[in-house]
Chains A and B, each alone.
Chain A
Amino acid sequence: MADGTTEAHRLESSAGEPAAVAGFASGVWVVVKREMGAYFDSPIAYIYATVFLVLSSTTFMNSFFLDSIVDMSAYFDMLPFLLIPFVPAMTMRTWAEEHAQHTFELLMTLPLRSLQVVLGKYAAALLFYLLILAGTAPIVIMLAWLGSPDMGLIFSSYLGALFLGAFFLSFGLFLSGLTHNQIVAFVLATLMGFAFVVSGHEKVVAVLDGLSPSWQLGTWLFESLSVMPHYESFTRGVLGLGSALYFLLMIGFFVWMNDVTLRRNRY
């Protein structure tokens, strides 16, 4: 292919020993770097970040001026509802794009475990989410300048926001891996996010309990499945082990399911 200009090429003779398999973390990092590059090469990332920050900040500033309270509770109360459409919009392309560009086959025939690829994509999405969350730092600085906000509460609320986003990303990626269609992935992840959030709303719990008094469906969903009691424990300043465990188990489950569905495609 080099039109005969190349002399004595190593590749032109016998093949050498195969390169060592990339270590687990190192293989994950290779995928993270590629994914981060893909996020920031596309204008979509900047649009996502801008829309998220403008929407969340303006909503917060509105209640901040109306209530005149130096805290961020209004911001963290609204965050779950903002993440319901925002995270699926971020994750819907993750696997669908690989299928569209036919690079899924390339990824799955590299000497990487499918779990390394899944974790790489997940970690990149989480990093991107963290960067956007870090974009709200001016609000904290502004509050600290105007008064004496409870910094411990703000820290635990950010931790809750991190867990909440990480959880949304885990099922967003899983659902994106189930279908080649970005719109289907978006709708499914939005519906799932909506279910996890509204099942923690007291009116929804009351309605569901009213529909099935003997089953107490609303209470059961609230206590066993809903993300809200766990998220709200962080936004109240309680760093509960149970809530952290809920998030870690749910994230682990969806990441594992993503890996399982990718491996199943080989059969």
Chain B
Amino acid sequence: MITVESVTKTYGSLKAVNDVSFEVAGGEIVGFVGPNGAGKSTMLKMLSTYLYPTLGRISVAGFDVVDEPLEVRRRIGYLSGDTPLYRDMRVDEFLRFIGRARGLRNTDLERHFDETVDLCGVGDVLAMRVDQCSTGFRQRVGLATALIHDPPILLLDEPTHGFDPLQVIAFRELLQKLRPGRAILFSTHITADVEAISDRVLIIHLGRLLADGRLDELAAETGMPGASLEATFAHLVSATSSPSADRTHG
């Protein structure tokens, strides 16, 4: 469902993403791990069509992100790392606005709205303005905007940011429920999230993809069979030489 071929993204002289290739199939949950400024968010922004790659090609659900961005946007649910919400709107108004902008109308909109509210657990805050919600609820609302149109592809940038431990567990259960038929790619700093729910891990550092595989495979490849993702990640990152201080894009 997602195919990334030799993609590079530059900002001036900085290569935020450097010759990255990977695929994500339907029914697969893939964790995208890397330190700050590694290029995770830039990669997700390109998959969402917000940014276009400088080099290479990205296909989402069979559509090129540059040539057919509207077709791509119809099929993705995207939660960016900044949790973009209109804070002056009530939660219910905001979700309906997103539903309408995604082409949902009347009973179809109400059905999707009810189901998403239920699924994301935001029923208690529907009448509240977004800026009155706690960080955790705002994150849930953001997640609801990514799900309201029932997309076959989910792109989530730091989706558990602001969640308490119970909400993290509930989020992991939610992703498992959403898994059938969907390609889910999420970025995180929290290696425990990846270990708990991901089928596969992508490790990125300094814009380059250092590893792509199942956790046990990666641990074995790095000569540390049975090691945790955290240990594997630390080993791979420290092995890469790095003028990381001047990198500003995540």
Contacts and interface: CB of A to CB of B under 8 A. Distances in A.
Chain A's interface: helix, strand, loop or mixed, by majority? loop
B121 A109 contact: no
B192 interface: no
A30 B180 CA distance: 32
A11 B111 CA distance: 11
A3 B147 contact: no
Contacts of B101: 22, 27, 30-31, 110-112
Interface string B54-78: 1000000000000000100111101
A111 B48 CA distance: 11
Given A1-B143, A1-B174, A15-B181, A105 B88 contact: no
Contacts of A31: 101
Interface stretch (A34-42, A189-197, A199-207, A250-258): A34-42
Interface in A15-52: 15-16, 18-22, 27, 30-31, 33-34, 37-38, 41-42
Contact of B181 (A14, A19, A108): A14
A105 B108 contact: no
B45 A1 contact: no
A213 to B, nearest CB: 47
Contacts of A106: 80, 84-85, 145
B84 A111 contact: no
B207 interface: no
Interface stretch (B28-36, B149-157, B230-238): B149-157
B100 A11 contact: no
A216 B199 CA distance: 73
A12 B177 contact: yes
A102 B149 contact: no
Contact of B102 (A3, A33, A111): A111
Contacts of A14: 152, 180-182
A216 B184 CA distance: 65
Interface string B169-198: 011011001101110000000000000000
A255 B64 CA distance: 27
Contact of B88 (A11, A22, A41): A41
Nearest to B182: A15
B48 A19 contact: no
B109 to A, nearest CB: 9
B167 A111 contact: no
27 contacts: A1-B119, A2-B118, A6-B118, A9-B177, A10-B115, A12-B180, A14-B181, A14-B182, A15-B151, A15-B181, A18-B74, A19-B149, A21-B103, A30-B100, A34-B89, A38-B88, A101-B87, A105-B50, A105-B80, A105-B82, A106-B84, A111-B70, A111-B73, A111-B103, A113-B70, A267-B51, A267-B54
Given A27-B101, A101-B85, 10 more contacts: A10-B115, A14-B182, A18-B149, A20-B103, A21-B70, A22-B102, A31-B101, A34-B97, A102-B84, A267-B52
Interface of B: 45, 48-52, 54, 70, 73-76, 78, 80, 82-89, 93, 97-98, 100-104, 108, 115-116, 118-121, 140, 143, 145, 147, 149-153, 167, 170-171, 173-174, 177-178, 180-182
Interface of A: 1-4, 6, 9-16, 18-22, 27, 30-31, 33-34, 37-38, 41-42, 101-106, 108-113, 266-267
